[in-house]
Amino acid sequence: MEEKDNKTEIKNTYHWDDDASVKEEPEVKVKRSKKVEKRQIKELEKHRKKEVLRDFQRSRITKKGKIGIIAAAAVVGAGIIAVIAWTIFGYFGLGFDMTKTLVKFDGGKVTQKEMDKYLVFLKNQDPTSVPAVTDPQYVVLQQNILDSLVVLKLLDQYGAKNGFKVTDAELSAEYDKLVKSYASQAAFEKDLLDRKIDRPFLDEQMKSQILRDKIYAKATENVVVSDAETQKYYEDNKGTLFKVPDQVKVSHILIQFNVPSGGTVTDAIKAEAKKKIDDVASQLKNGADFAELAKKYSEDTASAPNGGDIGFISAGQTVPEFEKAAFALEVGKVSDIVETTYGYHILKVTEKKAAYVQTYDEAKDTIKTYILSNKQMEEWQKFVYSLVDASKVVYTTVLKGTLLNSRQANSTDTGTETTAQPAETTAQPATETTTVQPSTETTGP
């Protein structure tokens, strides 16, 4: 597992999947009719409720102050972007009154002011995350925020009524965890300042997230996965999901192109790097140990301490020049100097694995985790929608969310208010294998 983590770090550091030599095809803009656009929006909305609920499970306070609570799918131009909305109740203190109620439910409501605060905050963080008011997707984004606010408030209500509390010790531990994800305390505080987030606001969001984690744990505590379920999943999918391709275990020594921020690679920069890698190559020819040279000279800071070892890679995981050299080498052999977009490399292959199908014992833990996650999400969806059902949600303006969709398939929308009907098919289990699949690779960056 440690080996896999190291390799993942290498991949993230040098973006070997993002081959700069591969040019993307130019985007082709297709003019679509209003009917087609409406149908596409409708399809997006079908999946949106599930994604909102999924993010209540996954949301955590993360590095760079990203207090992720809501994931909104919004179409911008010809593509779909994920919009992370931030809770900002009472934060901006806008000086105008926008108390119009957009949705009401037992014990609470969502106002226009709350909606607009979300939109302002989103736009401040990333102007591209909020479509133009005239864009049909602006309404989709509003719908997502509206529904998410409702669910957040219902969960807070449930927690208060059922004795779920957050202690000072839990809050302090969460705060320390967040600070440690930064280079220093000063870097953490500067980031909060840049994002206009003060400590009381941060504490409130951490409390809210810890509370929701506790409710999630309680709502899903009885979910289990049997050995029979795991075995059946393996047998049904072993011919596709559990095929492991040819792999090579590679170590390398990297001398990077020392490109200034915002600059480009020049002949002088290449010459400087070439001089360094030539010296390393000379020492290798004179019998120096590859691992020791990697520790001393390699500018891959993640693999250098391990003697340059980046673990196993398979086709498509690194840039083509690196991959070609790695797969061409025999075990124990060292390559000539290889140039990639990142600099000059010298590679050594230490092991090879032919393609094979994972055994059940190799795959069972991953399968069990995957099935458990899906079953927990199904249970969580049922729980959240039970709160929605019991809360008598009413959309009071022309802006309607979709929490009640498919609960009123036989009704006709003739007014501005929509009331909840008994739940039937709204909360569907998130079991599509195209969304979350067990990993078919146990190694590689």
Residues 363-373: tens digit of each pLDDT: 999 999 999 99
Please choose, from the candidates 321, 293, 324, 325, the residue with its C-alpha nearest in 3D space to the C-alpha of residue 309. Answer: 293
User: Quick one: pLDDT at residue 57?
Assistant: 41
- Per-residue pLDDT for 342 more than 90? yes
58 or 293: whose pLDDT is higher?
Answer: 293
Q: What is the mean pLDDT of residues 390-398?
A: 93
Q: What is the mean pLDDT of residues 404-411?
A: 56
Structure letter (DSSP) for residue 166:
-
Please choose, from the candidates 129, 28, 136, 139, the residue with its C-alpha nearest in 3D space to the C-alpha of residue 81. Answer: 129
330 or 22: whose pLDDT is higher?
Answer: 330
**pLDDT band for position 405 (cuts 50, 70, 90):** confident
- CATH code reported for the domain at 246-354: 3.10.50.40
Please choose, from the candidates 359, 356, 355, the residue with its C-alpha nearest in 3D space to the C-alpha of residue 246. Answer: 355
**Amino acid found at 106:** D
- Mean pLDDT of all residues belonging to the chain: 75
User: Quick one: pLDDT at residue 262?
Assistant: 80
User: Quick one: pLDDT at residue 173?
Assistant: 95
**pLDDT band for position 375 (cuts 50, 70, 90):** very high
Fold match between domain 33-243+358-445 and domain 246-354: no
Range from 8-17, 28-37, 134-143, 270-279 that averages highest in pLDDT:
270-279
Residues 72-85: tens digit of each pLDDT: 222 222 222 222 23
**Cβ pair 346, 253 in contact under 8 A:** yes
How far apart are alpha carbons 424 and 430 in whole angstroms?
A: 16
Instruction: Tell me whether residue 309 is exposed, middle or buried, using C-beta atoms within 10 angstroms of its C-beta: 0 to 12, 13 to 18, 19 or more.
Output: buried
How far apart are alpha carbons 378 and 327 in whole angstroms?
A: 43
**Cβ pair 245, 316 in contact under 8 A:** no
User: Quick one: pLDDT at residue 313?
Assistant: 94
User: Quick one: pLDDT at residue 411?
Assistant: 41
54 or 198: whose pLDDT is higher?
Answer: 198
Fold classification of 33-243+358-445 is: Triger factor/SurA peptide-binding fold (1.10.4030)
User: Quick one: pLDDT at residue 215?
Assistant: 95
Q: What is the mean pLDDT of residues 250-274?
A: 93
Count of Cβ atoms closer than 10 Å to residue 322 Cβ: 26
User: Quick one: pLDDT at residue 128?
Assistant: 85
Please choose, from the candidates 407, 434, 437, 430, the residue with its C-alpha nearest in 3D space to the C-alpha of residue 57. Answer: 430
371 or 63: whose pLDDT is higher?
Answer: 371
- Per-residue pLDDT for 21 more than 80? no
**Amino acid found at 438:** P
User: Quick one: pLDDT at residue 444?
Assistant: 29
Q: Write the DSSP string, 124-144.
A: HH-GGGS--TTSHHHHHHHHH
How far apart are alpha carbons 225 and 375 in whole angstroms?
A: 8
Q: What is the mean pLDDT of residues 150-173?
A: 94
Q: What is the mean pLDDT of residues 345-363?
A: 95
Please choose, from the candidates 254, 320, 319, 441, the residue with its C-alpha nearest in 3D space to the C-alpha of residue 18. Answer: 319
**pLDDT more than 90, % of the chain:** 54
Lowest mean pLDDT among 44-58, 209-223, 312-326, 345-359: 44-58
Joined tokens for residue 127: 């102007």
User: Quick one: pLDDT at residue 37?
Assistant: 54
- Domains of the chain, residue spans: 33-243+358-445, 246-354
Q: What is the mean pLDDT of residues 123-143?
A: 86
- Per-residue pLDDT for 423 more than 50? no
- Per-residue pLDDT for 310 more than 90? yes
List Cβ neighbours of 157 (8 Å cut-off, separation of 6 or more).
107, 108, 387
**Cβ pair 74, 105 in contact under 8 A:** no
Residues 202-241: tens digit of each pLDDT: 888 799 889 999 999 999 999 999 999 999 999 999 988 9
Strand (E) positions, 87-136? 101-105, 108-111
Q: What is the mean pLDDT of residues 409-434?
A: 34
**pLDDT more than 70, % of the chain:** 68
Residues 24-61: tens digit of each pLDDT: 333 334 444 555 555 555 555 555 444 444 443 443 33
Q: What is the mean pLDDT of residues 278-288?
A: 96
Q: What are phi and psi of 175, to 5 degrees?
A: -65, -45
User: Quick one: pLDDT at residue 418?
Assistant: 42
